[in-house]
Chains A and B, each alone.
Chain A
């Protein structure tokens, strides 16, 4: 329909429209392989794209990296945004610290204070970091960075070596801080129609706070802080 492949696409649409229209609806449409489109994915193709890592370690490749090796990689590829000690820079995220802050007025959600699984660190660094050159690091470098960031958060010792055996065993401080099998608290209101509350008080107003970019004229780049 959209000229991904103009002539054959059009043909395919017409062809299947006619086929489906002339066919009585049968249960076979629910059976595996009814359409059979596409090519079979080979093990090699799957292995190259299947990059996800689970908390139980499923997906972790061969290789390893130490905290010391990680420090060097971090200084080169990470420190310019995340700070030398994971303290963050500007609005780029803080990676370390924030322990005990989650129930405070200004919580700091870092790898150490918030992230529930160490596997997520390997997975995310590998798939999306460094920000400006994602998927450019070797598996060993990712292991090393993972070890280093865990060490910045005092979760592993300086002699820790990350690999597919050791990483799934790392217990994150906030692992039990999440509720997964329970929906968020549903906040119920009542559908009152008359005299629903005695007094109405305005507690805060956005007027005069100078945080709102202009919504007329060209894009407003003015308010950056």
Chain B
């Protein structure tokens, strides 16, 4: 086989070929010496990695038998905590260096172009830190609940896990998602345009359970949540919301929260702007008025064209985006394509998603993919036969309140271009004749 390969592919690097020729006997010797296969998979991958893709294909496609079928793979606990295939190494969170002064108070974006379901893998969940990611020892971490309560308490993480737990799947979106595009099209990437949203199954204790157990005094109307990071991040949340569906989460997709997501505990405030989901939570105070903290006055308020600003704009309004195709995932040839995307609403369930291929002149109803859950990412798709002509793709979500996702022109008309936050307008992807996809804005 290898002789034939060499004849067919004279451009294959000599070293790589010699590597692969040595493989079987090298593997055999290792097997005999160790009595166990531990590094077989890594050996094959490493040896073949140096071969040009075309040549590699010739060794693996029918009628050839792939090398991984003719060798043993890596044994169990080769990776005691599993990691993605090395072939997925480009599927990572990424940042936009020009957005922030440094990486300590900054943001990273989830690679939505590569994600296939509604759950964001824990290592790819977008990050937003105001003073970096603290390293917290859960045995030393405490949650204090005080203020207008009958019984101020301090809970260890062990105490917290004794309470009845709930699990719920919710998205978290930074209200600045897409905020770079108010004035014009800047970024040509799904990841950077919309990657400040992620979705996970959160497990923890209902805030209502905790607050009822400490007893809220009648005059209590507001809650202050505070983080244990160097920003000591704070937000005021009305008790009505706190007692509705907010949880103190200690787990994310079945395992302890990642440090980037607030390990050991964070607030999850379903449907509300990401900044309210205070990470590394250390303190909850009940009061009778909001605290007007920096994050709810100088930041996370929406400046209108007339110079006034709207505060307490907590809810993430309905939004959708086509994730395939997108600038990172161009169309490869004419024919039938599945237009796929994500939709979500901070006010409840996604009711419907429409897709346009002509810049919003005509719309077709897309199919929603189960599961469709409240305040969760929801998948949609529409089969489309592309004739090779330029097209303008858009998606438009309608949520269960009847709210219809606006166009950018409609948003600008009401809010001007200085809001920064809550830009939930329809995204337009321009498909060029060569299949490439570009972020454009329509007048």
The answer for the CA separation of A199 and B368 in the assembled complex, in Å, is: 29
Asked if B158 and A90 make an inter-chain contact with CB atoms under 8 angstroms apart, the answer reads no
Asked if A178 and B310 make an inter-chain contact with CB atoms under 8 angstroms apart, the answer reads yes
In the complex, whether A92 has a CB less than 8 A from a CB of chain B is yes
Give the chain A neighbours of B209 by CB distance below 8 A: 35
Give the chain A neighbours of B313 by CB distance below 8 A: 183-184
Give the chain A neighbours of B215 by CB distance below 8 A: 32-33
When the two chains form the complex, which single residue of B161, B413, B418 contacts A12, counting CB atoms closer than 8 Å? B161
The answer for the CA separation of A38 and B285 in the assembled complex, in Å, is: 16
Known pairs A49-B282, A134-B232, A187-B415; A202 contacts B317 (CB<8 A): no
Chain B residue nearest to A5 in the complex (CB): B158
How many chain-A residues does the 8 Å CB contact rule pick out? 96
B184 to chain A, nearest CB (A): 4
Asked if A179 and B311 make an inter-chain contact with CB atoms under 8 angstroms apart, the answer reads yes
Give the chain A neighbours of B145 by CB distance below 8 A: 41
The answer for the CA separation of A197 and B392 in the assembled complex, in Å, is: 14
Asked if B297 and A115 make an inter-chain contact with CB atoms under 8 angstroms apart, the answer reads yes
Asked if B155 and A196 make an inter-chain contact with CB atoms under 8 angstroms apart, the answer reads no
The answer for the CA separation of A65 and B131 in the assembled complex, in Å, is: 26
B96 to chain A, nearest CB (A): 6
When the two chains form the complex, which single residue of B111, B152, B188, B297 contacts A40, counting CB atoms closer than 8 Å? B152
A122 to chain B, nearest CB (A): 11
Chain A residue nearest to B301 in the complex (CB): A178
Give the chain B neighbours of A1 by CB distance below 8 A: 161, 251
The answer for the CA separation of A201 and B405 in the assembled complex, in Å, is: 20
Chain B residue nearest to A52 in the complex (CB): B291
Known pairs A52-B224, A52-B293; A203 contacts B443 (CB<8 A): yes
Among A143-151, A156-164, A214-222, the one that faces the other chain is A214-222
In the complex, whether B82 has a CB less than 8 A from a CB of chain A is no
Give the chain A neighbours of B439 by CB distance below 8 A: 205-207
Q: Which of A38-70 contact B (CB under 8 A)?
A: 38-41, 45-46, 49-56
Give the chain B neighbours of A190 by CB distance below 8 A: 404
When the two chains form the complex, which single residue of A9, A81, A195, A205 contacts B440, counting CB atoms closer than 8 Å? A205
Among B4-12, B66-74, B121-129, B355-363, the one that faces the other chain is B355-363
The answer for the CA separation of A91 and B232 in the assembled complex, in Å, is: 21
Give the chain B neighbours of A222 by CB distance below 8 A: 97
When the two chains form the complex, which single residue of A31, A41, A217 contacts B153, counting CB atoms closer than 8 Å? A41
Give the chain B neighbours of A92 by CB distance below 8 A: 101
Chain B residue nearest to A123 in the complex (CB): B293
Known pairs A184-B302, A188-B403; A8 contacts B152 (CB<8 A): no
Give the chain B neighbours of A90 by CB distance below 8 A: 101
The answer for the CA separation of A124 and B224 in the assembled complex, in Å, is: 14
Give the chain B neighbours of A193 by CB distance below 8 A: 354, 362-364
Known pairs A4-B157, A119-B292; A45 contacts B410 (CB<8 A): no
In the complex, whether A114 has a CB less than 8 A from a CB of chain B is yes
Asked if B362 and A196 make an inter-chain contact with CB atoms under 8 angstroms apart, the answer reads yes
B394 to chain A, nearest CB (A): 10
The answer for the CA separation of A7 and B188 in the assembled complex, in Å, is: 51
When the two chains form the complex, which single residue of B188, B289, B308, B363 contacts A177, counting CB atoms closer than 8 Å? B308
List the 3 closest A-B pairs by CB distance, nearest first.
A32-B215, A103-B307, A200-B359
Known: A1-B161, A32-B214, A81-B101. 12 other contacts (CB 8 A): A52-B234, A52-B293, A107-B307, A177-B308, A178-B311, A182-B310, A202-B441, A202-B443, A203-B442, A203-B443, A205-B441, A215-B90
Name 15 A/B residue pairs within 8 A (Cβ), A-sorted. A4-B157, A31-B212, A35-B213, A37-B159, A46-B144, A49-B283, A114-B309, A123-B293, A128-B294, A189-B404, A200-B359, A202-B428, A204-B440, A206-B185, A215-B113
B residues adjacent to A (C-beta < 8 A): 90, 92, 94-98, 100-101, 104-105, 111, 113, 130-131, 138-139, 144-146, 150-164, 184-189, 191-192, 209, 212-215, 224, 226, 230-232, 234, 250-251, 255-256, 264, 282-283, 285, 287, 289, 291-294, 297-298, 301-313, 315, 317, 327-328, 354, 358-364, 392, 396, 398, 403-407, 410-411, 413-415, 418, 422, 428, 430, 438-443
